[in-house]
Amino acid sequence: MPTTSARLLALLSLLQARRDWPGTLLAERLEISLRTVRRDVDRLRELGYPIAAVKGPDGGYRLSAGAELPPLLFDDEQAVALTIALQIAATTPGSGLAEAAARALNTVRQVLPSRLRHRVDALRVTAVEQPTTQPDTPVGGDVLLTLSSAVQAHEVLRFDYGSEPRRAEQHSEPRRAEPHHVVTWGGRWYLVAWDLDRDDWRVFRADRMTPRTPNGPRFTPRQLPGGDVATYITGRFRGSADGSWPCQGTVILDRPAATIALYTRDGVVEELGPDRCRLTLGSWSWPSLAATVARFDADIEVIGPDEFTDAFAHLARRFARMTLPRERETAGPPEGSG
């Protein structure tokens, strides 16, 4: 029978693997009794892990979110992926998360097994931003989280807004706005909102905002001019990079908005959820635009226009023709030939 510490680690690993675990199934997987499962769950609770009891015919347990982040267990692939993501965040200028990501990377590296530490040390990833004539100002992750939360909850946002980054005029009355979208454009973060004091739509730079708490009352979202955030933002920044593109299309990608924003500076990225975002880009031709979007290596849903959808079909036919000679070589000569 494994030691108590080994059992606790195995139990914690199982609880992290799925949402709900029947007690009988945990006992079977760990080869222990239900009574021992209950005792081990109590021990994990004493260590700070928020494990809730699940009601039902079989009963069971669930690892819930707590007030503090408890120690976590990662498999080898998760640990390597985490360190790569932290390296990208730590070397991305203007993200506002570089210092925190560097500290988190150092913490993770110290507890990695030697076999993984050697792999991670051999892999050095640096995010290189495209040069820009306008210096980017870092935006704290807490600010972006506050803005996104207000957007999702449809709550009036109260904030101070300065004419220069991080110089919000906190001595004045706070601005009040109905937040609708958090987007990136040209390497900067913006909030698209209905300004209640000016009775009009506004685009606020996130690096100039200092949110106040608590938020105001809930509101019913208004319809953006142009019908969607990409059309509105493109119109507002008409003089920017892709305002003059003859071909412009919109897609939904199964990737986080923050990840897509790292690799595009000439489009509009809108967060749709933890792992989905809407992207609007421009190019000189529809096929080149389709090829640009395909580089993100994500499932793609084309929103429009129809020319954009046709461009993906055109590229698919072109790539299919490229494989025909190899397929013929692999198949060999037809039967009866020679």
CA dist 319 to 63, 299, 301, Å?
46, 18, 19
Nearest of 299, 303, 298 to residue 281 by alpha carbon: 303
Give the model's pLDDT for residue 129: 52
Domain ranges (residues) in the chain: 4-63, 76-121, 141-222, 232-322
Residue 157 has pLDDT above 90, yes or no: yes
Q: Please state which CATH class domain 4-63 belongs to.
A: mainly alpha
CB 61 within 8 Å of CB 96 = no
Contacts of 273 by beta carbon, 8 Å cutoff, 6+ apart? none
What is the CATH code for 141-222? 2.30.30
Over residues 188-213, the mean pLDDT reads 88
Distance CA 322, CA 19 (A): 45
Give the model's pLDDT for residue 233: 79
pTM, to two decimals: 0.41
**Residues written for the chain:** 338
Report the DSSP beta bridge partners of residue 184: 189, 269
Give the model's pLDDT for residue 20: 80
Nearest of 264, 240, 261, 245 to residue 130 by alpha carbon: 264
Tell me the pLDDT tens digit for each residue of 173-200. Answer: 789 999 999 887 766 788 999 999 888 8
Distance CA 65, CA 72 (A): 12
Residue 46 has pLDDT above 90, yes or no: no
Nearest of 8, 14, 10, 7 to residue 48 by alpha carbon: 8
Tell me the pLDDT tens digit for each residue of 257-270. Answer: 878 877 776 678 88
What is the DSSP code (8-state) at residue 218?
A: B
**What is the dihedral sign for C-alpha 268, 153, 179, 95?**
negative
